[in-house]
């Protein structure tokens, strides 16, 4: 990832350290505001709405990532802790700049999808793209599913890929676009490695078939 290294040398001083801490903290704050708000105006005020952004409500370009993923207290605590664990793990692995860049690309993709498809969007797909990166780097890391059953994250990642495919096939256009474009950061960061690994596996498979073919000829 030479282009990332070049960007890091030039702009590393701009990185926000512990970025996921601030995102999760503000998600928690907004969650509490939603609980005490009787008007139901918190989420509409923060949501990514292209029409309202064009009218001058530019804070929506950022505020939508602070909308909590659920209104259930139990699931909110679980999901926000999961986001924090995934985000801080990636920042330790990459450093603050690369993690910031990954998140920023995901935000730009989500925003572009909302404008292109003419619909709103939340940070759910964006945060799940963090999970895909985490699962790619730490495929055998185990979590307790529903705090009971241990499961490796690589299996949850495959489930999420299935969910993306199902969304693309069945959902409305704004959701299709959000699901697809949220993968832009994952593809930019890991696409080259994935292709290289596939080619290596194909080469190993060809070499194995060639060896077996030569071995059989010798036996004949």
**Confidence at residue 210, expressed as pLDDT on a 0 to 100 scale:** 67
What CATH code is carried by the domain that includes residue 6?
1.20.1540.10
Give the model confidence (pLDDT) of 47-61 as tens digits: 888 889 999 999 999
Can you say whether residue 146 is alpha, beta or left, with left for phi > 0 and alpha for psi between -120 and 50 degrees? left
Whole-prediction pTM: 0.82
Name residue, tokens 């509490």.
Answer: 32
Residue 91's pLDDT is 94
Does 142 reside within a domain? yes
Look at residue 214 in the predicted model and tell me its pLDDT: 63
Q: Domain span at residue 22?
A: 2-194
Residue at 103 is within a domain: yes
Domain presence at residue 203: no
> Residue 212: inside a domain, yes or no?
no
Number of domains in the chain: 1
| H-run or E-run covering 137 | helix 124-137
Please indicate, yes or no, if residue 214 is contained in any of the structural domains. no
CB environment 35-54: b (16+ within 10 A), e (fewer):
eeeeeeebbebbbbbbebbe
Domain annotation covers residue 86:
yes
- Check residue 147 and give its pLDDT: 62
CA atoms within 13 A on the CB side of 17: 1
pLDDT the model gives residue 217: 56
Residue keyed to tokens 């008007």: 39
**What number of other Cβ atoms are within 10 A of residue 133's Cβ?**
23
Q: What is the pLDDT of residue 202?
A: 73
Query: Which two three-digit tokens encode residue 14?
Result: 């701009």
Could you tell me if residue 136 is inside a domain? yes
Q: Which candidate, 117, 98, 131, places its Cα nearest to that of 4? A: 98
CA proximity to 102, closest of 8, 197, 25: 8
Report residues of the chain scoring pLDDT below 70: 1, 120, 145-147, 204-205, 207-220
Question: Any bridge partners for residue 121, and if so which?
Answer: 48
Give the DSSP letter of residue 48: B
For residue 44, is it within any domain?
yes
The whole-number pLDDT of residue 58 equals: 93
């Amino acid at each position: 990832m030479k282009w990332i290294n070049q960007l890091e040398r030039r702009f590393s001083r701009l990185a926000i350290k512990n970025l996921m801490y601030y995102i999760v903290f503000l998600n928690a704050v907004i969650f509490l505001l939603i609980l005490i708000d009787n008007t139901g105006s918190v989420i509409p005020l923060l949501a990514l709405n292209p029409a309202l952004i064009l009218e001058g409500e530019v804070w929506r370009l950022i505020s939508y990532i602070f909308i909590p993923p659920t209104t259930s207290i139990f699931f909110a605590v679980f999901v926000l802790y999961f986001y924090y664990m995934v985000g801080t793990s990636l920042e330790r692995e990459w450093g603050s700049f690369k993690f910031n860049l990954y998140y920023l690309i995901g935000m730009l993709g989500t925003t572009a999808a909302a404008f292109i498809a003419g619909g709103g969007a939340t940070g759910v797909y964006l945060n799940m793209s963090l999970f895909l990166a985490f699962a790619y780097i730490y495929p055998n890391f185990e979590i307790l599913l529903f705090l009971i059953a241990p499961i490796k994250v690589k299996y949850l990642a495959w489930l999420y890929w299935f969910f993306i495919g199902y969304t693309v096939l069945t959902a409305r256009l704004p959701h299709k676009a959000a699901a697809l474009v949220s993968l832009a950061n994952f593809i930019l960061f890991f696409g080259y490695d994935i292709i290289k690994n596939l080619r290596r596996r194909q080469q190993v498979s060809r070499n194995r078939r060639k060896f077996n073919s030569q071995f059989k000829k010798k036996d004949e």
